[in-house]
Structure 1
């Protein structure tokens, strides 16, 4: 087993991590995203189409209800498991036990979804998948500020972002190519497990000595999840900008399958989603690592986040104005360019504004609420926009305005250049 040299848990890391460590952590991150996005892009939508007539609602409403319920679970799970990992004194370290347990639970949850017989079992399976996979994701994310120096975080964030989007593509591809809903869930579950093994088997985690763990108090534990924007304004603005840009992106993705089927009239919408995801991924991969490395070298974060957000808003507006298959391809490509830079540099920016080293897992979990909360807000916002207020043209125009607002508000962060 290879040991990564790093300082104790509360300290800021100073020794660079190696390529092997970065590659293994990135693969684990991508595997978790396979477990999420195979269902989100293809499988849940397909099940919603099958179950909606018996549930007495539209496929759009059923999908929104299930994904929204899962997102509520994610809102709670990510910061809670992050906080628990901060306090973990296991022999294998603070983060690794949660990566292992969360991945195993996530795989079992996907297998339960494969056997879902109706909307209630579908919702229960997805909520359980969100609970367990968020335990693993919270621990993977916290490993970065634990072990990566500040001036290397843009690059590491870039590789994590590349793995994330490849996980989205891989999950979509597995769900599409498997040949059915059950086979799709099984394929995603197997890949999720295999993807985390190199990291947990090869690399040691940082350990927290029992005497360094603070005394347990329910009141202090719960109170710790409130990070006051007054006391930590940079963190507050960073959280808001991430929320708005992710909300815009969630609005784009939520009904993409239905957009291609009902508005673009694409013959095979499932294949269309896969093609658009692949195009988006190619352009994202072209910028995600480059953007992170460039940000590290110039020592600046905000300009990269601002202009990537603006570019994404322009691409989203194109989906509103140019509702054709070529328009969708162009928009997917431009979104990838912007989201690549945003993914790596925003991650580094977030780690730069963390208030307290000892609470990295919990604080990153609170920050990651800005990733999960849009999944709750997007269905509630998107359904009336599509059904009652102008359809997909209005949906994507609103999404563009929201994303642009997030890009502009990055300038309110003063402690990071």
Structure 2
């Protein structure tokens, strides 16, 4: 039997630590103490509740739309542009000449400038509100109906005015209504049309957009007399053309409760969503080039070409432009849908418009102007059909389609404000119209180049 010596023997580990010692200090741990981890000391991750955000492709429609749905959408857009374009380009100019004959140019500039500013704000705001609308008839239709009514009311108010301020206020009210209607109508396409059909539908809608200006100009010069009758006729037709689309059956909007839109909601970070940013820049540049090319067309025919009847010349060129657009828009949409490609056709359409501007810059003749008008119409038809489909595929999330498309619509409106300022500065220079159309060609070509920076769409 061994005698207890009073001393315990310990086996010393290879690392030299005494049993029970901590790794950090080598000193014994207190009884019951938890062993320290060998991992580096780290802060526990902070848990935050993030709102559920769906990807833009998570709620895409799959059921194809029929010809009846597309035809009613075309009629809706026809009435919308019937009220918008002839009023802006013909009636408003004539009205300002009546109320301010001495300063009609400045008065028209103020009215169109404020109207464009109202349009820039209305589009995304109305789109965001329609995103959050929940009714038995859907989320877009209340805004289409209300926008048509407010637009007609604004045109009627404009018709009754006899001062520059009154005309401007009435025109801004019309812009609120018509652009609210536009925001909801544009958002209806990604809501209901599957991706495989979107270019075809967009190409179909481009045709009545162009016809709205031509037919509207004919109506206000042949059916009615005076600017007041023209405003009332176009506003009434816009409401009538919206009715067939409003009467279509639609599933009720989902009862999703969302907070009111905040100011920061209207900023879409190009870093977080680069394709959306490149799409906005592409649209902006192409529209700057197109606006510069068409803004001074009347003066170009009169001063550079020497046309004996420039007003009639503008009408002829508008007809050629419309024919070119109608010839290519639907066909380009069908080709884009079948190939599953957007970017090549968007770039081709923008480059065709740039080429037409180069023709106008190089030779100032009536024959060249007619060829350029046809070419720009064909290019714009290809561009509109495929670019609108592309835009619906780069939206950050499906829940905000109306707001995000409204922000993209601003890239159409802002050039209408900037182009008169830039164009006036260029035209009065030494190179005049040559420089103007060279800048038009350059900005359009730059827009065509930027579309290739979009990676998520072929």
| TM-score of the alignment, normalized to the shorter chain, above 0.5 | yes
1:79-98 equivalences under 5 Å are 79-98=124-143
Work out the CA distance in 1 between the residues paired with 2:347 and 2:254: 41
| Corresponding residue for residue 427 of structure 2 | 386
Equivalent pair of 1:42/1:176 in contact (CA under 8 Å): no
Work out the CA distance in 2 between the residues paired with 1:257 and 1:183: 25
Q: Which string of whole-angstrom CA distances, capped at 9 and with x for unpartnered residues, describes residues 163-190 of structure 1?
A: 2112222223323434432333233222
Stretches of structure 1 lacking an aligned partner (at least 5 in a row): 1-8
Cα shift at 1:48: 4.1
Structure 1 residues 97-106 or 178-187, which shifts more?
Answer: 178-187
Matched position secondary structure for 1:54: coil
Cα shift at 1:370: 0.9
Equivalent pair of 1:94/1:205 in contact (CA under 8 Å): no
Equivalent pair of 2:141/2:246 in contact (CA under 8 Å): yes
Cα shift at 1:11: 2.1
Structure 1 residue 307 corresponds to structure 2 residue 348: yes
Q: Which string of whole-angstrom CA distances, capped at 9 and with x for unpartnered residues, describes residues 129-182 of structure 1?
A: 211100000000000000000011010111111121122222233234344323
Q: Which string of whole-angstrom CA distances, capped at 9 and with x for unpartnered residues, describes residues 29-54 of structure 1?
A: 12111111102332223334445543
| Corresponding residue for residue 192 of structure 1 | 238
Structure 1 residue 40 corresponds to structure 2 residue 85: no
| Corresponding residue for residue 189 of structure 2 | 144
Work out the CA distance in 1 between the residues paired with 2:300 and 2:166: 26
Cα shift at 1:207: 2.7
| Corresponding residue for residue 180 of structure 1 | 226
Structure 1 residue 164 corresponds to structure 2 residue 209: yes
Equivalent pair of 2:291/2:419 in contact (CA under 8 Å): yes
| Corresponding residue for residue 287 of structure 1 | 328
Structure 1 residue 68 corresponds to structure 2 residue 113: yes
Structure with the larger RCO, 1 or 2 (CA within 8 Å, 6+ apart): 1
Structure 1 residue 213 corresponds to structure 2 residue 257: yes
| Corresponding residue for residue 125 of structure 1 | 170
CA RMSD of aligned residues (A): 2.1
Stretches of structure 2 lacking an aligned partner (at least 5 in a row): 1-56
Give the structure with the higher percent helix: 1
Work out the CA distance in 2 between the residues paired with 1:142 and 1:50: 38
Equivalent pair of 2:137/2:253 in contact (CA under 8 Å): no
Q: In structure 2, do the counterparts of structure 1 residues 393 and 179 end up closer, same or farther at CA, with 3 Å as the change threshold?
A: farther
Work out the CA distance in 2 between the residues paired with 1:181 and 1:258: 23
Cα shift at 1:323: 2.8
Work out the CA distance in 1 between the residues paired with 2:330 and 2:208: 10
Q: Which string of whole-angstrom CA distances, capped at 9 and with x for unpartnered residues, describes residues 309-365 of structure 1?
A: 111001122223333333222111000110000000000000011110111111111
Structure 1 residue 236 corresponds to structure 2 residue 286: no
Equivalent pair of 2:298/2:310 in contact (CA under 8 Å): yes
